[in-house]
A and B are shown apart, each in its own frame.
Chain A
Amino acid sequence: MAGRSVVRGGVDDVRQAARGFRWGRRSQVPRSAEEWVPEARSTVFRSDWARRRPAIVAREVVQKAGLEPVFRSQVRTTVRGLDVLDGLTGPVIFAANHASHLDTPLVLLSLPDEWRRRTAVAAAADYFFDTWWRAVGSSVLFNTFPIDRRGGTMSATPGEVLDDGWSLLIFPEGTRSQDGWMGTFRMGAAMLAHAHDVPVVPVAHRGTFAAMPRGRNWPAPGRRRLTIRFGQPLRPGPGESVRDFAARVKAAIAALLDEDGTTWWEARRRLASSTTRDPGGPDVAPWRRLWEQTAPIDDGGPDRVRAWRRSHD
């Protein structure tokens, strides 16, 4: 009897710890304690091994045999605009809006294989590289490398990755959106493009927030529709400042989002008249912003006429 109660006590303890400490999910800080959270450790695990041959092979297996089937079993995707990559040979910077942990697999699995294999993902050092197992996991799965969101010394790393011939996937917002709408852009992607003379490919996607917002660690049931659209590569103009170029990248993503919700032509006309819808969303009550972002995406259907036809599912 005593032995059984000890076992039962152990099971109860494990259950309580699993629930209370959010095993399998990222731990949370009580709101009233947020003020007292210590600064993130500066120790960041290296990731250069993740771009060597054994890791590349392992990643190919993991992505094609594991990640992709699981991803496609949970969501449906509509990918458009990949023809923009046809004329490109060297590394590029994919700059995308950021609303969910689904964004990275969505972008990577939407890319042609030859591009996917040569794309590394900039990931927050304080989030993805704070423990060895998280660093190894994200590096193997997504080919991540650490960037310091506070603008610390690691900012040199993306340049080295670019110089090695890898394309980069960067989310210029720096963090996932709180409500699905686009946040403030940081200038890291524009600065890199400037410094290393590589084009920026704007990428806009919708639906990931509704499928798996902050706080969820698995997509919502029902195989929600995600759409992703790649835009024309942008290069800094002669004499164009980093700040202006960053604004242009943001405007391009905003136009792509607009286009994804309407048509290419309508979006072009609004862009020309500077009336593109603010990607930051309307200034309305928070619930209305969330309501709009969580609405199912109308993916057009077979009879809808699109100005830009090229697509694959």
Chain B
Amino acid sequence: MSRPGFVLEVDDRTPPLLVHEGLGFRMEDFLLGTRVVYPPEPIGGVPDVEGAIREALLHPVECEPLPELLKAGMRLTIAFDDVSLTLPTMRAPDIRQRIIEQVLTMAADAGVDDVALISANAFHRRLTPKELEHIVGERVFRSFYGQGLLTNHDAEDHDNLTFLGKTEKDEHVVTNKRAAESDLLVYVNVTLVSMEGGHKSVGVGLSSYRSLRHHHNNETMVNSRSFMDHKNSELHASAWRMGRLIGEHVKVFQIETSVDNNVFPKPYNFLMKREWEWSIRDQASMLGVRRGLAVAPQRMRHKIFHDLRAPYGMTGINAGAVEPVHELTIAKVHEQQLVEVQGQTDVLVLGVPYLGPYNVNSSMNPVLATCMGLGYYFNSYRGQPVVRRGGAVILYHPLDEGFNQLHHPSYVDFYEEVLAESTDPAVVGQKYEAQFAEDPWYIHLYRTSHAYHGVHPFYMWYWAAHAMDHVDDVIWVGGNRRAAARMGFRSASTLLDALEMASDTVGPSPSITYLHNPPHLIADVR
């Protein structure tokens, strides 16, 4: 029986608490009275995953069973979430593999010949063959990749994009041509956080800049309260309008899954235990890992963390019509991640870990660290932000990983040139976004190499726009001073120093709340 999440109040009995900071972690002695929000324990996966998948495909929500939709001579496209999910990468076999195998088995039984699989990576980097194989499994990879039927979506291949029309808010809807011209589009999703899934799957994953610019911008993100709550998110409202329009042109059979909080395998599972329940072995592991990381070169630390494979359990699977399916999925995600928090705080403390959606097998550069902290973690709320308007956010990350030239070439220019001029998301968007979006070199790298699209760093900056608009002070504990300053933030050596620095904003005795994640949590702030 898993225990729900709860809010700890630090007292004299509280041991030092674990805080992630990039390729490492520290044990922090929080001030007495600090609130610490702990995520619920893993609720456990369904015992018979194959059976649950079969059940979902045969008894979908507000839709015909999948076998009834599969006919000989039809055109079937299977799109799936890319390598940005799950985090960390799921231990093989990936859920998507197990689902796609069952879908293909049914398709084969129905005599469907024309099948293509597309990784819905939008402006994310193209997945390597190895990454594709990890997601779809060896059998599917061998059957389709060599024939060019297992591909990455190319948002700059205009010959293979289809303009479907405009929404009632004049938003252009463009999607993958193969998907648009299919008799059936099956989308296989993993909803790791409540931002994912729903109409965002097809509407964003298979689109292009012409569509993305309508919701991936500063104004939309500032008005998404939060983008983890799709019913109060401008981003999702736009994606929903687009998704409904797509649904008028192509039949979408949405398959959504949710996973539990089991993110760290042994012997690193102490990272997700409550510290006062650490056994001697957990404490020894903590000391050993910390010492090991202290002496290991950066490359090795990177390998240690990025080689972790999460033993996730699949908590639920639903298939059928997009919207009712998504409601069921979100309910399951909330069951795993929602924690009730009473009232806002003056200072929000966040530990930014080694991994985010955009640095899988890559580096967490300062822009991505900001996106992770001020974007994903700050927005992990329902109701109202955990920190009050005008408060302060203290983040932990060394901001020292540098930029991966293969994956993030435009980030370097964004950091060195754009942020040097302005850190205001609205200003940088207005002045520079189009230039980066249309830069032929970035487009070339995106299409032929493994680079994120040229405009992607702007999106990361917009992801943090709501937080930047909401709080008055952002301080990085242990962060590289130059990097923090470049992004318009400050850096401190210790938590006490950071609080001292923040006292100008929040006073000398602020209320402090620390979100103890990962595993992921959503603060339901009352």
Contact = CB atoms under 8 A, between A and B. Distances in A.
Contact of A29 (B4, B6, B276): B276
Nearest to A38: B3
Interface of B: 3-4, 6-11, 13-16, 27, 29, 274, 276-278, 283, 286-287, 290-291, 294-295
Contacts of B286: 17
A13 B27 contact: yes
Nearest to A27: B276
14 contacts: A10-B287, A10-B294, A13-B27, A13-B287, A13-B290, A16-B16, A17-B283, A17-B286, A20-B15, A27-B15, A28-B276, A29-B276, A30-B11, A32-B7
A21 B278 contact: yes
B29 A20 contact: yes
B287 A14 contact: yes
Nearest to B1: A38
Interface centre among B10, B13, B286, B291 (most CB of A within 10 A): B13
Q: Is the interface of A mostly helix, strand, loop or mixed?
A: helix
Interface of A: 6, 9-10, 13-14, 16-17, 20-22, 27-33, 35-36, 38
Interface centre among B8, B15, B287, B295 (most CB of A within 10 A): B15
B283 A33 contact: no
Contacts of B283: 17, 21
B27 A16 contact: yes
A28 B277 CA distance: 9
Contacts of A20: 15-16, 27, 29
A8 B11 CA distance: 28
A9 B27 CA distance: 12
Interface centre among A28, A32, A38 (most CB of B within 10 A): A32
Contacts of A29: 13, 276
Contact of A30 (B10, B16, B29, B278): B10
B276 A31 contact: no
Contact of B15 (A6, A9, A13, A21): A21
A161 B158 CA distance: 84
A38 B274 CA distance: 11
A22 B16 CA distance: 11
A17 B18 CA distance: 11
Nearest to A34: B13
A17 B290 CA distance: 12
Contact of A6 (B8, B11, B276, B291): B291
Contacts of B277: 38
A31 B9 CA distance: 8
Contact of A13 (B9, B13, B274, B291): B291
B291 A10 contact: yes
Contacts of B9: 30-32
A134 to B, nearest CB: 11
Contact of A36 (B3, B11, B15, B27): B3
A13 B11 CA distance: 20
A27 B273 CA distance: 15
A6 B296 CA distance: 11
Nearest to A32: B9
B276 A30 contact: yes
A13 B283 CA distance: 10
Contacts of B291: 6, 9-10, 13
Given A20-B15, A31-B11, 19 more contacts: A6-B295, A10-B287, A13-B287, A13-B290, A16-B29, A17-B27, A17-B283, A17-B287, A20-B27, A21-B15, A22-B15, A27-B15, A30-B9, A30-B11, A33-B6, A33-B8, A33-B276, A36-B4, A36-B274
A32 B11 contact: yes
Given A9-B294, A13-B27, A28 B6 contact: no
Contacts of A10: 287, 291, 294
B6 A36 contact: yes
